[in-house]
């Protein structure tokens, strides 16, 4: 007769092996279908982001079937106007920035020479230009800027594909907003009756957590873009539109987006007014500290139900496990896991209290 422990061990090893095989096959299929899956995910997130607008319009007695088309038409109109309004300005400012690179080289060289003179007064003789090599840095910036301009000139051929993807995302998101509740209810009815309340609760947790998180990310992007534009305007810098567009996109990436968002305005400040770069950097660092380390972690913590320390932990763990995708979605996934765990904890506590109450009732 076989040993039961050996049978159980072999069974668990077989289950683990099959699980690893299925995960590997799922990863292969996901890689093959990455583009359409990404479009569906973006469409779903877009539908979650604008979900509160439907509730707002319903307060004015506007039915959902009328509110959804109106919102998506307005969204498409704003997107079209923004694209045609910002592309010419962005190209002009990028071209101007690249042509100012030689001036930046001479200013950086003079800046290093002044620092060397100040250090020489204290007996510290060094050649900073040989260490940092501003000529090489400026040459790389010029090469990058020139290639960026050449690529921007060739964007006309790719605009059709980008426009097609945007339209497809809007169409998918529109149908998800219109038919999403009905499809959600049909999926719930496929579950056993005993599972439907929990499935509905889990679905609501996922929608609220991901929708709130994405709305918070967009809010942080808009706030930082506005503050960046205000600070740059206050210091009298140019290329505000180009820099604001870049930082509004970069800052969405958690953990590293804030540091990366400092680079474009610092480069612009070095090109336009290098004499104010130190106070400018100090002001931008203060803005980032207040916004990213004091305000936004508390907002995210309230939305996803996590303490600010757990928010940072979710970012770090997500970056290690899943790389860029873990950085982007580590916080909402941790919020979903924490909410589900809290749901089971409260349910078990209520069951224990009910059992204790029933056991203490007189017979």
Q: Tell me: pLDDT of 132 over 60.
A: no
Q: Considering the chain, what is the average pLDDT of its residues?
A: 75
Q: Tell me: pLDDT of 221 over 60.
A: yes
pLDDT in tens, 33-81: 767 777 888 888 888 888 888 778 877 887 777 888 888 888 888 888 8
Print the SS3 string covering the chain. Answer: CCCHHHHHHHHHHHHHHHHHHHHHHHHHHHHHCHHHHHHHHHHHHHHHHCHHHHHHHHCCCCCHHHHHHHHHHHHHHHHHHHHHHHHHHHHHHHHHHHHCHHHHHHHHHHHHHHHHHHHHCCCCCCCHHHHHCHHHHHHHHHHHHHHHHHHHHCHHHHHHHHHHHHHHHHHHHHHHHHHHHHHHHHHHHHCCCCCHHHHHHHHHHHHHHHHHHHHHHHHHHHHHHHHHHHHHHHCCCCCHHHHHHHHHHHCCCCCCHHHHHHHHHHHHHHHHCHHHHHHHHHHHHHHHHHHHHHHHHHHHHHHHCCCHHHHHHHHHHHHHHHCHHHHHHHHHHHHHHHHHHHHHHHHHHHHHHHHHHHHHCCC
- The closest of 309, 231, 244 to 86, measured between CA atoms, is 244
Say what the pLDDT of residue 129 is.
54
Q: Tell me: pLDDT of 153 over 80.
A: no
pLDDT in tens, 180-203: 778 888 888 888 888 888 888 888
Q: Are 79 and 46 in contact (CB under 8 A)?
A: no
Q: Are 153 and 92 in contact (CB under 8 A)?
A: no
Q: What is the pTM of this model?
A: 0.65
- The closest of 265, 256, 274, 271 to 231, measured between CA atoms, is 265
pLDDT band at 98 (very low <50, low <70, confident <90, very high): low
- Burial, 200: exposed, middle or buried (Cβ in 10 Å; 0-12, 13-18, 19+)? middle
- The closest of 297, 299, 290, 291 to 314, measured between CA atoms, is 297
pLDDT in tens, 6-42: 777 777 788 888 877 776 777 677 667 767 777 888 8
pLDDT band at 134 (very low <50, low <70, confident <90, very high): low
Q: Tell me: pLDDT of 171 over 80.
A: yes
Say what the pLDDT of residue 250 is.
84
pLDDT band at 240 (very low <50, low <70, confident <90, very high): confident
């Amino acid at each position: 007769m076989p040993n039961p422990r050996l049978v159980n061990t072999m069974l668990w090893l077989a289950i683990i092996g099959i699980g690893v095989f299925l995960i590997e096959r799922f990863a292969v299929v996901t890689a093959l279908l990455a583009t359409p899956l990404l479009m569906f995910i973006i469409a779903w997130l877009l539908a979650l982001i604008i979900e509160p607008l439907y509730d707002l319009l319903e307060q004015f007695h506007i039915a959902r079937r009328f509110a959804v088309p109106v919102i998506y038409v307005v969204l498409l109109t704003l997107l079209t106007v923004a694209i045609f309004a910002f592309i010419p300005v962005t190209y002009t400012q990028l071209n101007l920035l690249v042509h100012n690179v030689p001036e930046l080289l001479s200013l950086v060289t003079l800046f290093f020479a002044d620092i060397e003179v100040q250090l020489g007064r204290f007996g510290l003789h060094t050649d900073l230009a040989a260490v940092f090599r501003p000529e090489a840095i400026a040459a790389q910036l010029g090469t990058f800027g020139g290639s960026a301009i050449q690529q921007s000139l060739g964007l006309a051929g790719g605009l059709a594909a980008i426009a097609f993807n945007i339209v497809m995302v809007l169409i998918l998101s529109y149908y998800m907003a219109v038919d999403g509740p009905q499809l959600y209810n049909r999926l719930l009815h496929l579950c056993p009756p005993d599972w439907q309340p929990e499935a509905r609760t889990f679905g609501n947790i996922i929608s609220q957590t991901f929708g709130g998180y994405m709305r918070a990310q967009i809010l942080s992007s808009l706030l930082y873009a506005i503050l960046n534009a205000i600070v740059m305007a206050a210091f009298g810098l140019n290329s505000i539109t180009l820099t604001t567009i870049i930082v509004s996109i970069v800052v969405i990436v958690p953990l590293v987006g804030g540091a990366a968002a400092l680079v474009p305005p610092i480069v612009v400040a070095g090109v336009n007014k290098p004499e104010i770069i130190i106070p400018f950097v100090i002001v931008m660092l203060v803005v980032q500290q207040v916004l990213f380390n004091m305000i936004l972690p508390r907002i995210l913590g309230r939305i996803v139900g996590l303490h600010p320390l757990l928010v940072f932990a979710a970012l770090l763990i997500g970056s290690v496990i899943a790389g860029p995708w873990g950085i982007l979605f580590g916080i909402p996934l941790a919020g979903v896991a924490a909410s589900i765990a809290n749901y089971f904890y409260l349910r078990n506590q209520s069951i224990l209290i009910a059992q204790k109450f029933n056991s203490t009732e007189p017979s």
